[in-house]
Each structure stands twice: as structure tokens, then as C-alpha cells.
Amino acid sequence: MSRIVRSLKSWEGFLLAVLVIIVIFNSSLAPEYLQINNWINLFQLSIEKIIVALIMAFIIINAEIDLSVASTMGLTAAVLAWMNHAGYPFGLALVVALGLGVLAGLFNGFWIAYVGLPSLVVTLATMIMYRGGARVFMEDKSFGDFPEWFNHLGQQAMIGPLPFALILFFLLAILAIIVLQYSGFGRYVYVIGNNQEVARYSGINVRRIKLILFTLSGAVAGLAGILFAARLGAVRGDTALGFELDIITMVLLGGVSIFGGSGTIYGVLLSILIVLNMRNGMSLLNLTGHLQTGVIGILLILSVLLPNLAQWLRNAWQRRRMAAPTGKPFVDSR
């Protein structure tokens, strides 16, 4: 087990090394790359996804999955836009949209924690359901006309050069580190992810922890949907479609085990930086978006393959060593 712990530690070290290489490579491509505005812009392009990635790390470490986050983002954005368009007060629309995100998560959590259905199936179903909801509100139209301050919030700097969503991301990241790595709640998340039955036999209320996690996931996704609406200034039925895969990719690349129980927010933050900078670098190289997505996919496979490959090489090396004379006296028994 210590090998796993060590390789995890070194996994984060590995990610850091990869990140440094990408940064050096990118800055050699274009000097503007290192400018603060480019960095803010690179974060801004995926800001909603990386916010949701933080809570997704909790869910996957807990040995669950939430496929419905992108649909929840779409649903809250759609409800916000629709209510605004229909003339309801914008404040009310914001509250309803956020509340809907919480409810969407609570609904997932109920089936998973209290009925005991697998999260993969439940959130696959609600992924379709919530997306359907968004399309019902939007039909095939696009609604915008948000209040001026809301568009500003999404598109312009708030403190110094930093936009609101980016500040929020930093705050949430710090909060996620504290909660997951240092709090009692975080401890429970790891324990349940490792072995749910041991947790139950230790008097931990496993259901409650799961319900809280999925509700939080819905709430964060709802918030991200609203931020997305503010940044784009208009919402359609397919807003945020397919984001869940990018989000899960970032979390897994960060060293979080798909089987639960291990991984850290530090790793996820590093992998977020890697993905963002790689996309930026590929844009500098004029690679198309589709090609970029392909490269990210290869990266994910490598991230799963590399630790296994290292293990395989170690074993192969040991086998070769065994086949060679060992220096032990060779005694024939007969």
C-alpha cells in the first residue's frame, strides 16, 4: 500500500513536471502567453467546468459519480433565462435557478443514498431528464437580455484584472482543500470511498454524507450554470451540453481513483492547469478544437496507463533479474 501512497505523491509530482514543460513550451511559442491577461482568459474559457470539477472530486473520491452536472447547469441557466424573458423579477429568477440546482442534486442524492441505486444509473437518467427540462423551457430559441450588471459580472474584471467567477473559483478551491484534506467531513468522504461497509460498521451515517455530497454537487452545478449564462449573455437548450465529460476527465487526470478512496484537490488543481494550458498551447499552434479534445482524451488514457506501465516494467525487470544467476550456491538435491 505504501507503494500506492508513494506513487500518488509522485503522481502529483509528475503532474507538476508536465505542467512546467507545457508552460515552458507555450512561452517559447508566443511571448504573450505569459501575460496575466492571457492566463485570466485561459481560466475564463473553462471557468464553469473547473468550478464543478472541485465538487466532482469529492463525489468520485466517495466512489460515486455525477453525470448530471452539465444538464443541471443547462437547466438552471435555462430557467434563469426563461423567467427573465417572461418578465419575472431577475432576483427571483436567480433564487429559483439556484434552488432548482439544489433540488436537482437532492433528487439524485435521495435515490443514491436512501434507495441504494447506483449513482451511474441515477445520474445518467437525470442527465437526460434535466437536459429535457432545459429544452422544454428553451424550445429551440435563445434568450438573453439579462440585466446590465449581470453581463458585467460574467464578462468584466471585478477586483483588479480578476473577474468574479475566477475569484469565486479561488475561494472555492481553498475551501475544497480545507474540507477534503483537513476536516472530519473530508475524512468521512475518503473512508466511505475506500470501504463503505467499514464506515457503516463504525457508526458513520453514510447515507447522510452521500446526500450532502450530491446536494452540494447540484448546488455548485446550478451556480456554474448561472455563471455560464452571465459569461455568454444568452442561453439555449443545449447550453453546457457534454461538459460532464471534460469535468470528469480533469478529476481523473488529477490522480483521483475512479474506484474511489484516493486522490487530492491538489492533484485536481494541477490537472486543471495542465488541461487549460495544453488547450491554450494547441490554440497557439492553430490546432482545431476537435483535435484539442482528442489530445485531452489521449492524455486521460495515458494518465491511467502510466502508473500501470511503470508497475509492469518493474515486474518485467524483476523477472529478468530472477532468470539471471542469483549468486546463491546451487545445490542439487540428488
Q: For residue 318, state whether it binds another protein (rule: CB under 8 A).
A: yes
C-beta closer to another protein: residue 202 or 288: 202
Q: For residue 203, state whether it binds another protein (rule: CB under 8 A).
A: yes
Q: For residue 185, state whether it binds another protein (rule: CB under 8 A).
A: yes
Q: For residue 202, state whether it binds another protein (rule: CB under 8 A).
A: yes
C-beta closer to another protein: residue 164 or 190: 190
Helix crossing, 47-61 with 265-284: angle to 10°? Answer: 150
Binding mask 15-54 for another protein (x = CB under 8 A): ----------------------------------------
| Minimum distance, C-beta of residue 200 to another protein, in the bound complex (Å) | 7
| Minimum distance, C-beta of residue 276 to another protein, in the bound complex (Å) | 30
For the four alpha carbons of 53, 181, 263 and 194, in that order, the dihedral sign comes to: negative
The number of C-alpha atoms within 13 Å of 216 and in the hemisphere containing its C-beta is 18
Q: For residue 259, state whether it binds another protein (rule: CB under 8 A).
A: no
The single residue among 40, 106, 204, 245 that binds another protein, judged by CB under 8 A, is: 204
Q: For residue 170, state whether it binds another protein (rule: CB under 8 A).
A: no
Could you tell me which residues come within 8 angstroms of residue 170 by beta carbon, excluding any fewer than 6 positions away?
none
Q: For residue 205, state whether it binds another protein (rule: CB under 8 A).
A: yes
| Residue at 116: amino acid letter | G
Relative to beta strand 142-143, strand 157-159 is unpaired
Could you tell me which residues come within 8 angstroms of residue 253 by beta carbon, excluding any fewer than 6 positions away?
15, 271, 274, 275, 299, 300, 303
Q: For residue 140, state whether it binds another protein (rule: CB under 8 A).
A: no
The single residue among 76, 262, 277, 280 that binds another protein, judged by CB under 8 A, is: 262
| Minimum distance, C-beta of residue 179 to another protein, in the bound complex (Å) | 8
| Residue whose C-alpha cell is 452521500 | 210
CA 111 remoteness from chain centre: 22
Cα angle at 97 between 91 and 101, to 5 degrees? 145
- Count of positions (residues) in the chain: 334
C-beta closer to another protein: residue 290 or 319: 319
CA 221 – CA 233 distance, rounded (Å): 18
Q: Are 46 and 277 in contact (CB under 8 A)?
A: no
C-beta closer to another protein: residue 70 or 192: 192
Chain contacts with another protein (rule: CB under 8 A):
1-5, 178, 182-185, 187-188, 190-191, 194-195, 197-205, 261-262, 318-319, 321-322, 326, 328-329, 331, 333-334
